[in-house]
A and B are shown apart, each in its own frame.
Chain A
């Protein structure tokens, strides 16, 4: 357990509005990740960070941006939410050792 929390845990929003999800970790892990999990698609990487202010795109990054101004916080922003972004979003963190990732509890996002 890497002490990973996500906020909010649940959110309902309307199409076209911006949404920011927050991930906070207490173990000083260098690497952080944002995934979305959808039936039939498994876990898909949205963006990841390999250090403060160092981020890179994952396989489904369109419509999402991230920021990491401190080691412990990794923010995911949906710039203009669409119904296709309805999903469960997971944050993860890793020290890089054997690539083990520790996950937060998830955020359920519904875009109407």
Chain B
């Protein structure tokens, strides 16, 4: 069974602080995605990383895919209250018609003013 372990599960920080969320697995993924979910809404894609070692930046958010394509991290610089939400990582292991994602349990981030 493929698993994605996400840490930390909960994070409460002050506005302006930096933070990193980790997503780890023993399995290799063809791609890994990060989503953000706000209360009462469905998850929304932030980024997809495909190549081992790949780094992508989205404003203050930096995403990295591990060299072996088994892990990923999300770093937020100078967090803002608008960053509050549930961050989910999801890995893809494509096989035939299988287009399912393996989901982490999420990191609930609260950024306090």
Contact = CB atoms under 8 A, between A and B. Distances in A.
Is this pair of chains taken from one and the same complex?
yes
A74 interface: no
Given A31-B99, A50-B99, A101-B101, A42 B88 contact: yes
Interface residues of B, number: 23
Interface in A69-112: 90, 92, 94, 96, 98-106
B99 A105 contact: no
Nearest to A44: B103
Interface stretch (B16-24, B37-45, B64-72, B75-83): B37-45
B92 A48 contact: no
Given A104-B42, A106-B41, A98 B101 contact: no
Interface residues of A, number: 27
Interface of B: 30-31, 33, 40-45, 48, 50, 88, 90, 92, 94, 97, 99-101, 103-106
A42 B92 contact: no
Contacts of B44: 103
Given A99-B33, A100-B45, 14 more contacts: A4-B42, A41-B105, A42-B106, A43-B43, A43-B103, A44-B103, A50-B99, A56-B97, A90-B42, A94-B99, A98-B48, A99-B31, A100-B48, A101-B90
